[in-house]
Amino acid sequence: MQDHLIIFDTTLRDGEQSPGASMTKEEKVRIARHLERMGVDVIEAGFPAASNGDFEAVKAVADTIKNSVVCGLARAIENDINRAGEALRGTESSRIHTFIATSPIHMKKKLRMSPEQVTAQAVKAIKWASQFTDNIEFSPEDAGRSDIDFLCQILEAVIDAGATTLNIPDTVGYTMPDQFGSLIRTLRERIPNSDKVVFSVHCHNDLGLAVANSLSAVVNGARQVECTINGLGERAGNAALEEIVMAVRTRQDFFSCDTRIDTTHIVPASKLVSGITGFPVQPNKAIVGANAFAHESGIHQDGVLKHRETYEIMRAEDVGWGANKLLLGKHSGRNAFRSRLTELGIELESEEMLNNAFVRFKTLADKKHEIFDEDLHALISDEVMILQEKYRLQSLTVHCETGEVPHAQLVISDDGKELYAESDGSGPVDATFRAIESILASNAELQLFSVNNITCGTDSQGEVTVRIQKSGRIVNGHGADTDIVVASAKAYLSAINKLHNKLERAHPQV
Domain CATH for 484: 3.30.160.270
Q: Which residue has the higher pLDDT, 7 or 271?
A: 7
**Share above pLDDT 90 across residues of the chain, in percent, rounded to a whole number:** 63
Q: What is the pLDDT of residues 450-478, one digit of tens each?
A: 888 777 776 778 888 898 998 888 888 88
Q: What is the pLDDT of residue 137?
A: 98
> What would the mean pLDDT of 200-212 be, rounded to a whole number?
97
Rg (the chain; Cα; Å) = 24
**Residue 317 shares a structural domain with residue 339:** no
* 29 inside domain: yes
- Report the DSSP pairing between strands 224-227 and 6-9: parallel
**Residue 78 shares a structural domain with residue 218:** yes
State the pLDDT confidence band at 504, using cuts at 50, 70 and 90.
low
Q: What is the pLDDT of residue 476?
A: 84
Q: What is the pLDDT of residue 269?
A: 92
**Residue 144 shares a structural domain with residue 242:** yes
d(CA 202, CA 476): 26
> What would the mean pLDDT of 104-129 be, rounded to a whole number?
96
Number of domains in the chain: 4
Q: Which residue has the higher pLDDT, 126 or 267?
A: 126
Nearest Cα to Cα of residue 28 among 318, 345, 290, 289: 345
> What would the mean pLDDT of 51-70 be, rounded to a whole number?
95
CATH code where residue 104 lies: 3.20.20.70
Query: What element of type H or E holds 476?
Result: strand 473-481
Q: What is the pLDDT of residue 169?
A: 97
Q: What is the pLDDT of residue 381?
A: 72
**Residue 378 shares a structural domain with residue 403:** no
**Residue 428 shares a structural domain with residue 495:** yes
- Least confident range from 16-25, 37-46, 109-118: namely 16-25
Q: What is the pLDDT of residues 232-243, one digit of tens each?
A: 999 999 999 999
**Residue 343 shares a structural domain with residue 249:** no
Q: What is the pLDDT of residue 184?
A: 98
Q: What is the pLDDT of residue 207?
A: 97
pLDDT at 112 over 70: yes
**Residue 120 shares a structural domain with residue 251:** yes
**Residue 110 shares a structural domain with residue 174:** yes
SS3 assignment, position 430: helix
- Least confident range from 44-53, 259-268, 362-371: namely 362-371
> What would the mean pLDDT of 32-56 be, rounded to a whole number?
95
**Residue 404 shares a structural domain with residue 485:** yes
State the pLDDT confidence band at 300, using cuts at 50, 70 and 90.
very low
* Residues linked to residue 139 through DSSP beta bridges, in sequence order: 99
**Residue 272 shares a structural domain with residue 300:** no
- Structural domain that includes position 87: 3-277
Q: What is the pLDDT of residue 78?
A: 97
Nearest Cα to Cα of residue 231 among 155, 158, 282: 282
pLDDT at 383 over 80: no
Q: How far is Cα of residue 104 from the mean position of the Cα atoms in its chain? A: 31
* 329 inside domain: no
Q: What is the identity of the amino acid at 174?
A: Y
Percent helix, strand, coil in the chain (nearest 5)?
Answer: 45, 20, 35
pLDDT at 65 over 80: yes
* 506 inside domain: no
State the pLDDT confidence band at 323, using cuts at 50, 70 and 90.
low
* 510 inside domain: no
pLDDT at 384 over 80: no
> What would the mean pLDDT of 327-331 be, rounded to a whole number?
72
Q: Among the ranges 106-115, 195-204, 300-309, which has the highest mean pLDDT value?
A: 195-204
Q: Which residue has the higher pLDDT, 355 or 182?
A: 182
* 507 inside domain: no
Spatial CB neighbours of 180, under 8 Å, sequence gap ≥ 6: 144, 170, 201, 203, 213, 216, 217
State the pLDDT confidence band at 326, using cuts at 50, 70 and 90.
low
**Residue 15 shares a structural domain with residue 113:** yes
d(CA 261, CA 240): 14
Q: What is the pLDDT of residue 304?
A: 43
* 328 inside domain: no
* 505 inside domain: no
CA angle 375–378–384, rounded 5-degree value = 140
CA angle 341–343–348, rounded 5-degree value = 35
**Residue 190 shares a structural domain with residue 47:** yes
* 147 inside domain: yes
Q: Which residue has the higher pLDDT, 387 or 272?
A: 272
